[in-house]
Amino acid sequence: MDAFFASVEQASKPSLRGKAVVVGGLGPRGVVATCSYEARVFGVHSAMPMGQARRLAPHAAYLVPRFELYRSISEQVMRLLRELSPLVEPLSLDEAFVDLEAGGAAWDAESARLAGAKLRGDIRTVTGLTGSVGLAASKMLAKIASEEAKPDGLVLIPPGTERAMLEPMTVRTLPGVGPATGDHLRRAGITTVGEIAEAGEDELVRLLGKAHGHALYAMALARDERPVVAERETKSVSVEDTYDVDIHDRVRVGVEVGRLADRCVRRLRASGLSGRTIVLKVRRYDFSTLTRSETLRGPTDDPAVVREAAARLLDSVDTTGGVRLLGVGVSGLADYTQEDLFAQAAGEGAEEPAEEPETASAEEHTPSLAERRWPAGHDVRHTELGHGWVQGSGLGRVTVRFETPYSEVGRVRTFPVDDPELTPADPLPLVAGAADGEDDEAGQPSSLPASLPKSWSGGGGAAATSSP
């Protein structure tokens, strides 16, 4: 998908179409998740510190992500991919590999091109957004082709032309070649993929080590035998938070670790999993990152057990000077718990004990009118003015632009943050007429499509669709 998060925001907000849009964390330590192509003209890019992005593009719209909406649209796209083939390998919300041959959707270059063109049209029809498709005989080449196709394009690499296409490209084109490896190769006089092939496998092994050297040489020769894998095993479940201000209070650090442990267990249970290794991650004030782990006798999904293990791990970490990031994870996953095995061995048929109430996280707290936060870009509804989105808030006021995905550019109004007539709202579908039920009096869909959550806080050959 093309600039996925930013494109969703532009599609849902008529006033932002054709404008620079940056989506990410807006706090002092926030980073850019995605930005529109209009913002990239100013040098903004993903993973850039938000402060730097604001200096480069001070007039862009800066919005807080709406991940539930992005996930729902991603599900629509993934369904279209699964109609093409049973072998779909998602890499993220907006990127996936598809084995077209396995689904009978393509058997040569021309049929692959037709399948890719139809997919792009279907994505636009269903979501109102654009996606770019790369078609080739392997995953690596399909990925490269999809990057070449951006934005809103299709690139096919015909069989037999792969080497010629790769040779003039920079070494950074190949997967696994980041800034450090790229600089190392440049100092050795290697700047293009063709020069990697000319250098030879032995020279690359000498420069980069055995594993990396062998892999890079194979890629330079357009060799990639990796299959498209429909299901990839989950190896760990984790959650983490970055704090705008360093936490110095040791008690507060402990409370945050307990809260993260509870969130991690909820995610673990939602996946029907348990785990036996508890991992604590602490990033300190000086950016040094410490990781501690403890392996239990057997897998568990008990929040009390995970909390206690995380607390023990915290005892071994020096947080003097402050903490900027905390994380709790569980690995060594299984689809059973050790307690279940003990019960089966003993032949016990006792009823399962009531689940211990989980500590509510900060985002699950139901705020009073005066406490409500209004994240920039999130949806709201006014009893008289209808649906809109938050342009900004502060000093006890919130500014809202009233428009929908299917309206003209809307008007702007400002309200007190505790105005009882203004409430958070669910996002509207991006495509008019995609909602279930009848239209309201304004001719807009009155409910969400089945693919969108009905209730959430406003808060062989291969093809690849990818994010930049």
Q: How far is CA 327 from CA 164, 247, 267, 278, 429, in A?
A: 46, 14, 14, 11, 34
From the candidates 9, 38, 95, 162, give the one annotated as an active-site residue.
95
HSE-up (13 A, CA, CB side) for residue 141: 30
Structure tokens that stand for 388 in this block: 């809109």
Question: CA-to-CA distance for 328 and 324, rounded, in angstroms?
Answer: 14
**Peptide bond just before 151 cis, omega within 30 deg:** yes
Name every residue whose Cβ is closer than 8 Å to that of residue 418 and which is 6 or more positions away in sequence: 369, 370, 372
Residue 21: closest CA among 327, 452, 387, 389: 389
- How remote is the C-alpha of 31 from its chain's centroid? 13
Question: What is d(CA 409, CA 17) in angstroms, rounded to the nearest whole number?
Answer: 10
Give CA–CA dist 266/202, Å, rounded: 49
Decide if 95 is catalytic: yes
Separation in Å, CA 387 to CA 390, 407, 412, 444, 445: 10, 11, 12, 10, 11
By CB atoms closer than 10 A (0-12, 13-18, 19+), residue 415 is middle
- How far is Cα 407 from Cα 394, in angstroms, rounded to an integer? 27
167-173, Cβ contacts within 8 angstroms, sequence gap of 24 or more: 167/192, 167/193, 167/194, 167/197, 168/192, 168/193, 168/194, 169/144, 169/193, 171/195, 171/196, 173/144
Which tokens in the block code for residue 338?
């050790």
Q: Is 94 annotated as a binding residue?
A: yes
**For residue 412, which amino acid is it?**
V
Residue 205 Ramachandran class (φ > 0 left, ψ -120 to 50 alpha, else beta): alpha
Left (φ > 0), alpha (ψ -120 to 50) or beta: where does 175 sit?
beta
Q: Which residue has the tokens 């939602």?
A: 270
Instruction: Identify whether the C-beta of residue 329 lies closer than 8 Å to the C-beta of residue 351.
Output: no
Encoded tokens for 446: 């009155």
State the binding site: 94
Sequence ranges of the binding site for Mg(2+): 94
Catalytic positions, written as ranges: 95
